[in-house]
Structure 1
Amino acid sequence: MDKINLLIIVNIISLFISLFLAFFLITLKTKYKTSNCLFAVFLLLNAIDISEPLFNMMTDGPSNLGMFRSSFAFLQIPVFYLYIISVCYSDFKLKPKYLLHLLPFLIANLVLLPRFYTVDAVSKMSFIQNRQNMIEFQFIHILIHLQIVIYIIAVFRVLRKSKKLYLENYAGKSISSYNWLFQFTIVLTILYTVALLKNIFKFSDYPQISEWIKIGLWVSSLFIFCWYLFKALNNPGLFRNIDSKLKLVSELVSEEKKNEQSPEHEREYNEELLNLKKYMVERKPYLNSSLTIQDVSNETGIPVRDLSLLINHQLGQHFYDFVNTYRIESAMNILKDNTKSKVTILEILYEVGFNSKSSFNTAFKKHTGNTPTFYRKSV
C-alpha cells in the first residue's frame, strides 16, 4: 500500500470518527449542552483541518474555498479555550465579547485577500508554488503559532485558578478529577508542538517527513479525543460547580490589608473560629460528601468571605483539606474500634464523607503518614 492510499484511508477514518463524535455530542440530551456543543465544534474544526487530502482530490489546483478551509485552523484553539472555561465554571454563558477570539482568523484571511483571494487561478498557483518566499505565509505561520502559545498558557491559567477555587471553597468530588483534564491539555499541547515540527519540515528539504508526521497526528489525536470523551461522559459533574465570581483567598487578603484590622475585628475572628470548630464537631457537616463553604456559611451565620479567610488564611488550610481533616479523624475512630473490625475500608470512606477510594487514601496518608489498612493493623 503506497503512501497516498494510506493517507486517504487514515483521512476517511479520522473524518468519520470526528464527525460521529461531534454529532453524538450535539444530539446528546444533557444539562451541559453548551460545553458539549463547544467540544463538538472543536471536533468539527479538526475534521475540516484533516479533510485536506479528500478536498484536494475534488478540486483542480488552489482555490479560494481551499485556502478558506485551511484558515479554520485559527479557530481550533480559541474554541478549546472556551470549552475549558465552560467546563470549569457553572455560570459560563456565551457572550458577544467572545467574538474577539475570531480576530486571528479574520486577520489571516484579510492578509490573503490582495494576492490570493482576488486574483486569477494562474496567480493563485504561482502564489502557492512560491509560498516559502511569500510574506503572507510567513506572517500567517508566525501568527498561528503565537496564537497557540498564548491560548495554551491561558488554558493552564484557567485550570490553575479553578483548582485553587475548588480547594478553597469545596470539599466534594475528589480533586483527582482535575488531573485528567489537566493531562488532556498537556497531551494536546504536545500535539500542537508536534504540529509545529510538522510545519518546519513542510518548508524544509524534507517535506515527506511532514506528511508522515501529519498521519501520525491524525491517528493519535483521534484516539486522544475518544479517550477524553469517554472520561468526560463518565464524569458529567466534573468541575461544573465552581462559580466564576468567587475570589481567591490571595485576592481577599490583599483587600483586607488595605483596611486596618482593629482589636475588635480580631476578637470577632477568634469567636468565629471557636463557633466553626464547635459546629464541625457537634453537627458533623463533613459527612456530606458534597459539602461547600456556602453550606457551612449558611449553617454558622459566618459570611462566606470571612469564612474563607478564616480557614484558608488564618488556619493555613484549604477548605478541602480542612473538611478532610475531620473526615479522617472520624475514619481513624472507626478503624480503632474493635467492634467495627468487619466494616470494610470502602464502607468507612463513604460513611465519613468521601466518595472515592483514591481521594480517601491520599488524604489519610497525608494526615497520618500511613494507609488506612496499615493503620487498622497497627492500632
Structure 2
Amino acid sequence: MDKINLLIIVNIVSLFISLFLAFFLFTLKTKHKISNSLFAIFLILNAIDVSEPVFNMMVDGPSNLGMFRGTLIFLQIPVFYLYIISVCYADFKLRPKYLLHLLPFLIVNLVLSPRFYTVGVASKISFIQNRQNMIEFQFLHILIHLQIITYITAVFSVLRKSKTLYLENFAGKSVSSYNWLFQFTIVLTILYLVALLKNILKFSDYPHISEWLKIGLLVSSLFVFCWYLFKALNNPDIFRNIDSKLKLVSELVSEENSREQSTLAEQKHNEELVKLRKYMVEKKPFLNPSLTIQDVSNELEIPVRDLSLLINHQIGQHFYDFVNTYRIENAMDILKDDTKNKVTILEILYQVGFNSKSSFNTAFKKHTGITPTIYRKGL
C-alpha cells in the first residue's frame, strides 16, 4: 500500500471517529452541556483541519471552500481555551465578550478576500502556486504561530490559577485531575508544534517528511482525544469546584498589606488560630472527603477571606495540605493501634477522609517520608 492510499484510509477513519465522538458529546444528556459542546466543536474543527486529503479528492483545484476550510484552524485554539475555562470554573457561561476570540479568523479571511476569494480560478491557481512569495501567506503563518503561543500560555495560566485556588479552598480528590489536564495540554501543545513543523517542511526540500508527519498526527491526535474523552466521561465531576470569583491568597495578602495592621488584629488572628486547631482536633471535619474552606468557615463563623489568610498565609499551608495533615495524623494513630492491625490500608484511607489510594500515599509520604505500608511494618 502506497503512502497516499494509507493517508486517505487513516484520514477517513480519523474523520469518522472524531465526528462520531462529537455527535455523542452533543447528544449526551448531562448538566455540563456547555463543556461537552465546546469540546465537540473542537473535535469537529480538528476533523475539518485534517480532512485535506479527502477534501482534495472531491474538489479539483483551489476553491473558496477549500481556503475557508484551511482558515478554520484559527478557531481551534480559541475553542479549546474556552473549553478549559468551562471545565475549571463551575460558574462559566458563554458571554458576548467571547466573540472577540473570532477576530483572528475574521481578519485572516478579510486579508484573503482581495487576491483569492474575489478573483477567478486562474488567479486562484496563480495565488496558490506562488504562495511562498505571497504576503498573505506569510501573514497567516506568523499569525498562527503567535496565536498558538498566546493561547497555550493562557491555558496554562488558567490551569495554574485554578489549581492554586483549589488547593487554597478545597480538600477533595480533584487536585490530581488538574495535573492530568496539565499533561493533556502539554501533549496537545506537542501535537501543535509537530503540525507547525509539518507545515514548514511542506514548503521545503523535504515534503515527503511532511506527509509522514501528517499520518503520524492523524493517528496520534485520534488516540489522544479518545483517551481524554474516556477519562473525562468516566469522571464527569472532576473539575466542577472552582468559582471564578475566588481570589488567590497572594491577592488577599496584597490587599491586607495595603491596610494598616494593628496589635488588636494580630490578637484576633491568634485567637482564630487556636479556635481552628481546637475545632480540627475535636470535631474532626477532615473525615469529610469533600470538605471545603466554606464548610469550616460556616462552622467557626469566621469569614472565608480571614480563614483563607489564616491557613494559606499565616500557617503557610494550602487548605488542601492543612486538612491532609490531620488526615495523615489520624491514619498514623490507626496504623499504630495494635487492635486494628487487621484493618487494611485501603479501609484506613477511606476512614480518614481520602478517596483514592494514590492521593493518600502521596500525602502520607510527604508527611512522614515513607509509605503507609513501610510505616506499619516499622512499628
TM-score computed with the length of structure 2 as normaliser? 0.99
Q: CA deviation at 1:181?
A: 1.0
1:209 aligned partner: 209
2:138 corresponds to which residue? 138
Q: Is 1:328 matched up with 2:328? A: yes
The number of residues matched between the two structures is 379
1:276 aligns with 2:315: no
Q: CA separation in 1, counterparts of 2:375 and 2:218?
A: 49
Q: Kindly, what percent of the aligned residue pairs are identical?
A: 83
Q: Is this contact kept in 1: 2:89–2:241, CA < 8 A?
A: yes
Q: Residue type of the partner of 1:77?
A: I
| 6-15 vs 50-59, which moves further | 50-59
Correspondence 1:218-367 to 2 at 5 A: 218-367=218-367
* Unpaired stretches in structure 2, ≥5 consecutive residues: none
Q: TM-score, normalised by structure 1?
A: 0.99
Output the amino acid matched with 2:114. Answer: P
1:71 equivalent to 2:71? Answer yes
Report the counterpart of residue 126 of structure 1 in structure 2: 126
Distance apart, 1:175 and its partner CA: 2.0
The aligned residue for residue 31 of structure 1 is 31
> Structure 1, residues 181-224: CA drift from partner, whole Å, max 9, x if none?
11110000000110111111011122222111111101100000
In 2, the alpha carbon distance for the partners of 1:216 and 1:80 equals 21
Deviation digits for residues 243-262 of structure 1 (CA, Å, limit 9, x no counterpart): 11000000000000000111
Which consecutive aligned stretches of 4+ in structure 1 deviate over 6 angstroms post-superposition?
none
Displacement of 1:318 in angstroms is: 0.3
- Superposition pairs for residues 185-200 of structure 1, below 5 Å? 185-200=185-200
C-alpha root-mean-square deviation of aligned residues, in Å?
Answer: 0.8
Query: How far is 1:142 from its partner?
Result: 0.7
Q: Does the 8 Å contact 2:174/2:239 carry over to 1?
A: no
Output the amino acid matched with 1:227: W
* Structure 2 CA distance for aligned equivalents of residues 60 and 332 of structure 1: 72
- Checking the alignment, whether the CA contact within 8 Å between 1:327 and 1:353 is kept in structure 2 is yes
SS at match of 1:238: coil
State the 1:31 CA deviation: 1.0
The one-letter code of the counterpart of 1:366 is: K
Deviation at 1:174, TM superposition (A): 4.6
CA distance in 2, matches of 1:4, 1:248: 53
| Secondary structure at 2:260 match in 1 | coil
Instruction: Give CA deviations for 1:141-181 in whole Å, capped at 9, x if unaligned.
Output: 11011100000000000110011001000001152222211
| CA distance in structure 1 between the aligned counterparts of 2:211 and 2:289, rounded to whole angstroms | 51
Structure 1's unaligned 5+ residue stretches are: none
CA contact (8 A) 2:169 2:320 kept: yes
2:211 and 2:373 map into 1 onto residues whose CA distance is 53
C-alpha contact 1:174 1:355 (8 A) present in aligned 2:
no
Provide the residue aligned with 2:149 in structure 1: 149
